[in-house]
C-alpha cells in the first residue's frame, strides 16, 4: 500500500478512535457504564438482553433499561471494531512506513496501549466504575488518539514534502505545544475527578440541587475553573504570537491554530454553561469531547512544527 492510500486508512482509524471517545462519553453521562454488569459478556450472554424477561434468574433487574444496555453493548462492539482497525493499520504500516521506523513504533505503541485500555474496560466494570480506573482509561484513550494523530500528520508530510518549504515558525514552538498538551492532559484529568466527586455527592445527597453539588466538592471545582481560564489565555496568547511571528504558515498550520483557539473558547463557554445551567448531560458530553479534540489538534500542530524543525536540521 502506498503512502497516499495508507494515509487515508490512518485518517479513518484516527477518526474512529475519536468517535469512540465520544461514544464512551455518551455512556458515561447517561449512566450506562454498568448497564451490563459483567464483561465482556452482558448478563452472561454475548447478545444483550433487551427485555427484563431475558435476564437470567438470579441477576438483579433493578434499574434495568434496555436502551442503556444497548448503548453499552454498542460501545463494546465499536471498541472491538476500533481494535481491529488499529491492529490492521499497524500491520500495514510495516510496509507503507518502512522508511520511518519511529512511526511504526508509534503505531505499535498505540496497539499496546489500546490493549491496556480494553483490559481496563473489564476492570472498570468489575470494580463498579472505580474513579481512578475511569480517569486512567480516559487519559489512555487520549494518548492513543494523539499517537495516531501524530502518525497521520507525519504520513501527510511524507506524501507532500514541500508543504512547509516556504514557511518559518518561531523557534521552539513545538516545545510550547508539548507543554500545552501536557497541561491539557492534567486539566482533563482534574475535570474527570471533579465529575467523579459530583457523582459521589449526588448519590449521598440526592436532594441537593446540581449547583449545591458543585459547592459540596470544595476547592477542586474552583481549581479546575481557574486552570481552565489559564489554559485558555495561554492558548490564545500562543496562537496570536504564532500567527504573527510565523512566515508564510501553511494552510494546515494556520487553520489548525485557528481551530484550536476557537475550540478553547468554546470549552470555556461550555464550562460556564455547566455551572450556570446545572450540569446538563449533553453539555457535559460536548465539554469532554471538545477537550479530546483540543488534544488532537495540538498534536497536529506539534507534528507540523516538529517536522519542519527536523527538515531544517537535515538541510543544514
* Per-residue model confidence as pLDDT tens digits over 22-58: 999 999 888 888 899 899 999 889 999 888 888 888 7
Helices (H), 47-172: 66-96, 101-126, 131-159
**Pair 301, 259: CB distance under 8 Å:** no
Share of the chain above pLDDT 70, in %: 97
**C-alpha span between 311 and 316 (Å, rounded):** 9
165-316 CATH fold: 1.20.120
Grid coordinates representing 231 are 489554559
**Pair 23, 75: CB distance under 8 Å:** yes
132 CB contacts (<8 Å, ≥6 apart)?
none
Could you tell me which residue, 90 or 171, shows the higher pLDDT? 90
**C-alpha span between 68 and 232 (Å, rounded):** 35
Section 74-83 average pLDDT:
96
Q: Parse the chain into domains and list their residue ranges.
A: 1-159, 165-316
Q: Is the pTM of this model over 0.75?
A: yes
Report the pLDDT value the prediction gives residue 314, as an integer from 0 to 100: 47
163 CB contacts (<8 Å, ≥6 apart)?
156, 157, 250, 252
Which burial class, exposed, middle or buried, applies to 244 when counting CB atoms under 10 A from its CB (0-12, 13-18, 19+)?
Answer: exposed
H, E, C per residue of 259-274: HHHHHHHHHHHHHHHH
Which burial class, exposed, middle or buried, applies to 134 when counting CB atoms under 10 A from its CB (0-12, 13-18, 19+)?
Answer: buried
* Per-residue model confidence as pLDDT tens digits over 252-286: 999 999 999 999 999 998 888 877 777 677 888 89
* Per-residue model confidence as pLDDT tens digits over 146-190: 999 999 999 999 888 888 888 888 888 888 899 999 999 999 888
Amino acid at each position: 500500500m502506498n503512502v497516499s492510500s495508507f494515509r487515508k486508512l490512518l485518517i479513518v482509524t484516527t477518526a474512529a478512535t475519536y468517535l469512540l471517545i465520544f461514544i464512551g462519553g455518551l455512556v458515561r453521562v447517561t449512566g450506562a457504564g454498568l448497564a451490563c454488569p459483567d464483561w465482556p459478556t452482558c448478563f452472561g450472554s454475548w447478545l444483550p438482553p433487551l427485555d427484563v424477561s431475558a435476564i437470567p434468574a438470579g441477576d438483579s433487574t433493578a434499574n434495568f433499561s434496555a436502551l442503556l444496555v444497548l448503548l453499552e453493548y454498542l460501545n463494546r462492539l465499536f471498541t472491538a471494531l476500533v481494535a481491529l482497525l488499529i491492529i490492521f493499520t499497524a500491520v500495514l504500516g510495516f510496509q507503507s512506513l518502512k522508511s520511518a521506523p519511529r512511526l511504526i513504533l508509534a503505531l505499535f505503541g498505540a496497539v499496546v496501549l489500546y490493549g491496556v485500555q480494553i483490559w481496563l474496560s473489564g476492570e472498570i466494570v468489575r470494580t463498579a466504575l472505580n474513579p481512578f480506573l475511569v480517569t486512567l482509561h480516559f487519559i489512555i484513550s487520549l494518548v492513543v488518539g494523539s499517537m495516531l494523530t501524530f502518525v497521520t500528520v507525519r504520513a501527510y508530510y511524507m506524501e507532500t514534502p514541500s508543504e512547509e518549504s516556504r514557511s518559518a515558525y518561531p523557534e521552539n514552538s513545538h516545545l510550547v505545544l508539548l507543554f500545552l498538551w501536557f497541561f491539557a492532559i492534567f486539566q482533563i484529568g482534574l475535570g474527570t475527578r471533579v465529575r467523579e466527586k459530583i457523582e459521589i455527592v449526588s448519590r449521598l445527597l440526592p436532594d441537593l440541587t446540581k449547583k449545591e453539588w458543585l459547592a459540596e466538592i470544595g476547592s477542586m471545582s474552583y481549581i479546575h475553573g481557574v486552570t481552565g481560564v489559564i489554559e485558555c489565555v495561554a492558548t490564545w496568547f500562543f496562537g496570536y504570537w504564532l500567527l504573527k511571528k510565523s512566515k508564510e504558515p501553511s494552510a494546515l498550520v494556520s487553520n489548525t491554530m485557528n481551530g484550536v483557539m476557537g475550540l478553547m473558547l468554546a470549552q470555556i463557554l461550555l464550562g460556564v454553561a455547566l455551572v450556570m445551567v446545572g450540569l446538563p448531560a449533553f453539555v457535559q458530553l460536548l465539554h469532554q469531547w471538545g477537550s479530546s479534540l483540543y488534544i488532537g489538534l495540538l498534536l497536529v500542530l506539534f507534528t507540523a512544527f516538529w517536522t519542519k524543525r527536523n527538515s531544517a536540521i537535515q538541510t543544514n
